[in-house]
Amino acid sequence: ATTVTRQTTTVTSTSGVTRFHLVQVNTTFVSSHGGLLTFLELILGITVFGLLHNHWVSNVVLYLYLVSFAYWLPSLYVLLSGALSATGTVLPTTLFFFVFHACGFLLYLAGGIGVLVVVAKYQWAQAIAAAVLGLFASVAHLVHAILFYKSN
């Protein structure tokens, strides 16, 4: 069952013209396991991106930085689409969604391990923290892909 909350706001301008603005919030996707995982992936991606911003000491750090950006931005779009569309529950049932999370798992895994291997000898705390969070994001994408596979 899809729960859609509808809120209507009436705005009257100084010219006396009344306009109606409609805001719909679909809470079904956002409060589901997939929505919560997407939110977690978004937070982890933004955190990795923030930790590595302007601190590219090697190509592998730049790689993880770019992977985090490439995954947190679409995750934001998925959350917004799921929350603001009455058909927001359709997107998580597409093959694109599975491929997105399967690739996210592999790319974050490669980036996290790569940064740990290359940067750990320098004991650069920000990069190590970003690598560990990248590995957590990898696990989140794996769980998301498994949940998709089991539900379809």
With CA atoms as reference, report the closest residue to 79 among 27, 4, 129: 27
**33 within domain boundaries:** yes
The reported pLDDT for the residue numbered 147 is: 92
21 is a domain residue: no
Length of the chain: 152
For residues 108 and 134, the answer to whether their CB atoms sit within 8 Å is yes
Query: How far apart are alpha carbons 20 and 49 in whole angstroms?
Result: 39
For residue 7, tell me if it sits in a domain. Answer: no
- 17 part of a folded domain: no
Supply the range of the domain harboring residue 85. 27-151
Position 18 in a domain: no
Structure tokens at 54: 């302007």
134 found inside a domain: yes
What is the rounded CA–CA span in Å between residue 117 and residue 142? 22
Q: Mean pLDDT of residues grouped by 10 in the chain (152 residues)? A: 56 56 74 91 97 87 96 94 80 88 97 93 88 97 93 80
Classify residue 100: in a domain, yes or no.
Answer: yes
- How many domains does the chain fold into? 1
- Is 14 part of a structural domain of the chain? no
pLDDT digits (tens, 9 = 90+) for 41-82: 999 999 999 999 988 778 999 999 999 999 999 999 999 988
